[in-house]
């Protein structure tokens, strides 16, 4: 089955800095790559996603890049704010309704 | 309405009890999911229903029994659970983007 690795497990930055989280996957048939944000005690919520026919996607301060050849994708957050503090999960899907999550990154943004 | 509603929010049960978790969505999604999330871990897929039929069972023990009465409702029946089954149980709906409920936090004594 699909194996998704996510790094780092913890990331501490100062407000205004950039944060980068990386994920690698094993199944070359995977074609959908979402990122979810989960605040403490809350539900996971989709923040951005990318499909295999696109190399990069941006939404305001958040961007995702995909390298299908190397089987890795990354989340980039610029101008971080304290409210960005949360656990971020990457996920991978082959399109058969089976979403496999990465191990998660706890992001802490200090004012 | 972009909400997935789960009840109860909290549940404490003994190992001999029978209980059910409920999930409801009104977004017209034809796929609904149960995920299990332990503390500081990612959600793990348990079951997928597509058009009210069970399409994926991730080798979940039979003490967990899913049911999809109609396209808006999803239940998870619990019987003879073990303490290690204590976790947050998340319901979701959607095809690509998944919309998650707030979860039912289950404690098995």
Q: What is the pLDDT of residues A39-66, one digit of tens each?
A: 998 999 999 999 988 899 999 999 999 9
Question: In this structure, what DSSP letter does residue B101 have?
Answer: -
Mutation choice for B interface testing from A10, A36, A54, A99 by most B CBs within 10 A: A99
Buried b (16+ CB within 10 A) or exposed e, A46-67: bbbbbeeeeeeeeeeebbbbbe
CA-nearest residue to B93 within chain A is: A97
Residue B1's pLDDT is 61
Residues of chain A in contact with residue B33, where contact means CB-CB under 8 angstroms, are 97
Q: pLDDT tens digits, residue range B65-94?
A: 999 999 999 999 999 999 999 999 999 999
Collect all residues of chain B within an 8 Å Cβ-Cβ radius of residue A98: 45, 48, 56
Q: Quick check: B60 contacting A, CB < 8 Å? A: no
pLDDT in tens, chain A (111 residues): 788 999 999 999 999 999 999 999 999 889 999 999 999 989 999 999 999 888 999 999 999 999 999 999 999 999 999 999 999 999 999 877 789 999 999 999 999
Are B103 and A43 a contacting pair at CB < 8 A? Answer: yes
Q: Show which of residues 45-104 on chain A sit within 8 Å of chain B, judged by CB atoms.
A: 45-46, 49, 89, 93, 97-104
* B41: contact with A, CB 8 A cutoff: yes
H/E/C letters for each residue in chain A? CCCEEEECCEEEEECCCCEEEEEEECCCCCCEEEEEEECCCCCCEEEEEEECCCCEEEECCEEEEEECCCCEEEEEECCCCHHHCEEEEEEEECCCCCEEECCCEEEEEEC
Q: Determine, for residues B97 and A98 on separate chains, whether the beta-carbon distance falls below 8 Å.
A: no
HSE-CB of B37 using CA atoms within 13 angstroms: 31
Q: Give residue A81's pLDDT.
A: 97
The token pair at B14 is 């003994």
The burial class, CB within 10 Å (0-12 / 13-18 / 19+), for A16 is exposed
**Alpha carbon distance B100, B35 (integer Å):** 9
* Separation in Å, CA A64 to CA A61, A67, B23, B44: 10, 10, 31, 23
Q: Average model confidence (pLDDT) for chain B?
A: 94
Best interface-test mutation with A: which of B91, B96, B101, B102 has the largest number of A CBs within 10 A?
A: B96
Q: Which two tokens stand for residue B26?
A: 């009104």
Token digits for A97? Answer: 């309704």
A42 at interface of B, judged by CB pairs closer than 8 A: yes
What local confidence, expressed as pLDDT, does residue B2 receive?
Answer: 66
Q: How many CA atoms lie within 13 A of A76 on its CB side?
A: 13
Which backbone phi and psi does A46 adopt, to 5 degrees? -65, 130
Maximum CA pair distance of chain B? Answer: 37
């Amino acid at each position: 089955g699909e194996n998704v690795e996510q790094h780092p497990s913890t990331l501490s930055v100062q407000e205004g800095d950039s944060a980068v989280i990386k994920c690698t996957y094993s199944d070359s048939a995977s074609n959908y790559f979402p990122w979810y944000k989960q605040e403490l005690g809350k539900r996971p919520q989709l923040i951005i996603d990318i499909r295999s026919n696109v190399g990069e996607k941006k939404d305001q301060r958040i961007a995702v890049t995909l390298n299908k050849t190397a089987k890795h994708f990354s989340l980039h957050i610029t101008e971080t704010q304290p409210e960005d503090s949360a656990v971020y999960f990457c996920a991978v899907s082959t399109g058969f309704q089976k979403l496999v999550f990465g191990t998660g990154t706890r992001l802490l943004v200090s004012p | 309405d972009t909400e997935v509603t789960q009840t109860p929010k909290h549940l404490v049960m003994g190992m001999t009890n029978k209980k059910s978790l409920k999930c409801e969505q009104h977004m017209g999604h034809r796929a609904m999911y149960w995920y299990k999330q332990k503390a500081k871990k990612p959600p793990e897929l348990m079951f997928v229903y597509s058009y009210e039929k069970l399409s994926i069972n991730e080798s979940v023990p039979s003490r967990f029994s899913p049911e999809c009465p109609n396209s808006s409702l999803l239940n998870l029946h619990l019987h003879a659970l073990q303490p290690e089954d204590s976790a947050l149980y998340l319901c979701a709906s959607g095809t690509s983007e998944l919309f998650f409920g707030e979860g039912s936090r289950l404690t098995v004594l």
